[in-house]
Structure 1
């Protein structure tokens, strides 16, 4: 499969390369000619996918890579699926976790992210007791003492200090890759990051927990890029934060412009 894909890419056969990628992604109705060129038959099912994952890990290991990180992001979306589809997906997740734990996939790190509703609510992992038992963690204790080695880790929301710390790390990474590193660290110092964090949170109704996306967008695009490109740009003198409604998500927009009781039309 990998040899056939590499051959298709090298020869400029885009259609065959895309067909092989589609097959690897589990897509049905892949052209028979493309599959024949790779020596594969039929569609990729659960068992074939697990075998392909094992093979990929071997290739990565032999190529000198330490392993593979697989992220199953926003798994809470399963809650909106049809019941039978959701149950099948939950069982597949349980099987994958068991096989990773059994050592079938050496070098694989599996990360699953989701909202508390998925891990604790009635439409999430609780629908499959074996999966719930594997992932259940008691979060009734003080968050300060959460066990980072537990199978499930609780992510606390951002506060002002953690938002500033995020800005510090992004600024330092940006400065390391810039010829203006010293100037960036001087003009965008920790005090300025604190001022920017306050301004962004204030534009979102004081909700610091939802501010990181807008904060990083403004920090990089409006501040760091300009300090890097313009020798006479000083963010304290030449930049004033503006956040338009069009650049916010629905949640951010609602918090930035909270509705008043008098703004709601009632049918009387």
Structure 2
């Protein structure tokens, strides 16, 4: 879809923010059902305007709630509240982008892996949903929120690379980079934050890709795989015949997976257990 180009149609300024509120008001009733689908225009796309002060959270809140009613708007309003929570966390813990909110994570045995980090940053991990997100980020300065969580989880749990490296990469690349939201999001995924997901919640990239119907999103951002059918595109290494028909060779046109999901999950849980017992 054309919109999947990210913010090619982004209009900086207060007028652009007002136009985005009006656009989202027409779609807000479907927000809760579509906001996790990266191939669908289901999010508000207000984040750059909020970050740059082109619209206040209060104006965004009332712009949507007044248009569709607070009951209908509640899922979106909840996300605005989460953003405000991030600002509050930074007010209390100014170094939250550097210091884990939970002491056990100061001992976490991260791996020093420059090549692995580069593969992640360039969208060359061999996991299509991760690579699609990282390429969208680099090309447009924005990434779908569900895919942000998947990509972040992959870096810190599948690759055991320090979450602060990922936090800084996002900070450098995102047009909506916000210190509170960014550090809160990374510590949430890591499990190290003051109010975060538990560490053992390790996203399975393939399962997430299938569950949230990311096939067309992958086709947009990983064109090497564009001719694969839906049942093969999420885990191409499991579909040799489909790869052959599409003329894709793993390790040539598209990389082989840099880690095995089950082995990486077991390694991550062992690292977490070691950090807790030290």
TM over 0.5: no
- The structure with more radius of gyration: 1
Higher relative contact order (CA 8 A, sep 6+): 2
Using structure 1 for the length normalisation, give the TM-score: 0.25
Using structure 2 for the length normalisation, give the TM-score: 0.24
